[in-house]
Amino acid sequence: MSQPRVYFYCCPEPNNLQDDIIILAEGLRELGIPYYSSADYWRQSPDGDDYLFRRTPEVLPDDCDVVVLPYTWFNWVLLGESRPIRREVPEGLFKRGRRYRTVYMDTNDGLRTVSWEPAFRQFDVILRCKYLRRAWNPGNLRPWVMGLSHRILRMTAGAPPFADRRRTLLINFGASHGFPHGARVRSHERFDPVAARILDVDATRDDLTVAPSEPYDRLMWEQTNHRHCRDYYERLKHSQAASCFCGELIPPMPWRDPSQYLVGGNKARVRRGIYSFLSRFDPRPERIVQWDSWRFWEALAAGSAAFHLDLERYGALLPVMPEKGRHYFGVNLDDPGAVVDQIAGDPGSLGRVAAAGREWAVAHYSPPAMARRFLAEVGFSAAA
């Protein structure tokens, strides 16, 4: 089999963060797999026009084996605006007789995204971050994750040895949404107080509206919608642990369409109240929607012990699952003291989990690892 060729439809706006395809392109480049693009996108340094994606008008989708669309193609919210911008499906993308496979990268928030619309059944594969295995999903969705980009790996490199770090738990969700995450609210109420028994808490928050003075940091700040912050990465590298809770906890029923009580105003709130009441008689735990976040991957990359929900318990699904107590500390918010007691009884476990978590994340979710998995999902091999 000849080497596959990959075509990316890129949104051309420099502040339209398309981190889902950035990691793929970085990995494909490392593997020597050729890829092409509809637009120039993602400057890698402030000194030139060294775009990761280079517009290639001489190469079209028909010349390639795989065609990829980022999630913001159909759902981009401009900074400071509320209504998303939705582009049309590229003309001829699903034409009869096409030889390429189509992929949509769905890192959208919430449970029921644009991927649930009937027209999206035409995609051969939809790689869905924040996949919830304890709910119905369309048949062409596959579990995916945000992963580790070169920017994250660069900013978390050079961390001091674990023993030389501050024995602190970093709790900082500055670059977040304008609404509270239910899982975070509950973690603040139930987990933070018990964690404070064994770790100092660092709740420092950065002013992300201030542009960095260093050229690289300023470029990344501009291209990530003001999420990039060197001071945060430095605190993370010097902290032994980080809080990574994310998402919304929902009742364990219904399986088919939990979104009926996630959106819809008063009617949704009434439905949620009903299912919350019924869940009292259901032995299954709650479920987590929108569990994936950059904080989790940044903490792992920095070699900081990551505290998150018990991903398996709450229904999250990754292509390769981490083991709680080995790669991260999975917390049951109905009994948050259990993991704290575990660490208190085995103080060395904090450093062991931090080291194993970084090794696991790099092995399975670095750019080349993500690219290999991507190629396998569309029927190719990186060794081809």
Tell whether 1 is covered by a domain. no
Tell whether 383 is covered by a domain. no
Task: Give the integer Cα–Cα distance in Å for 105 and 126.
Answer: 6
Going from the C-alpha of 158 to that of each of 49, 207, 236, 302, the distances in angstroms are 27, 24, 12, 9
pLDDT of residue 384: 43
Tell whether 28 is covered by a domain. yes
We report the CATH number of the domain holding residue 180 as 3.40.50.2000
Q: Are residues 125 and 226 in the same domain?
A: no
3-state secondary structure of 186: helix
Q: Are residues 178 and 128 in the same domain?
A: no
Q: Are residues 235 and 344 in the same domain?
A: yes
Q: Strand pairing of 166-170 and 239-243? A: parallel
pLDDT of residue 262: 65
Mean pLDDT of residues grouped by 10 in the chain (384 residues)? 90 93 98 97 92 97 98 81 83 96 95 94 98 96 98 97 97 63 91 96 92 96 94 97 94 75 67 68 85 96 98 97 98 96 96 98 98 96 62
Tell whether 35 is covered by a domain. yes
Please tell me whether the overall predicted TM-score, pTM, comes out greater than 0.95 for this model.
Answer: no
Q: Are residues 256 and 344 in the same domain?
A: no
Neighbouring CB atoms inside 10 A of 283's CB total: 6
Tell whether 197 is covered by a domain. yes
Q: Are residues 59 and 99 in the same domain?
A: yes
Provide the β-strand partners of residue 126. 104, 141
Q: Are residues 118 and 182 in the same domain?
A: no
Q: Are residues 17 and 60 in the same domain?
A: yes
Whether the link from the prior residue into 254 is cis, omega within 30° of 0, is yes
Question: The domain containing residue 139 runs over which residues?
Answer: 6-147+366-377
Q: Are residues 64 and 194 in the same domain?
A: no
Tokens of 93: 């993308």
Q: Are residues 86 and 139 in the same domain?
A: yes
Task: Give the CA count within 13 Å in the CB-facing half-sphere of 298.
Answer: 26
Q: Are residues 116 and 165 in the same domain?
A: no
Tell whether 138 is covered by a domain. yes
Q: Are residues 121 and 159 in the same domain?
A: no
| Total of domains in the chain | 3
Rounded CA Rg of the chain: 21
Q: Are residues 73 and 92 in the same domain?
A: yes
We report the CATH number of the domain holding residue 47 as 3.40.50
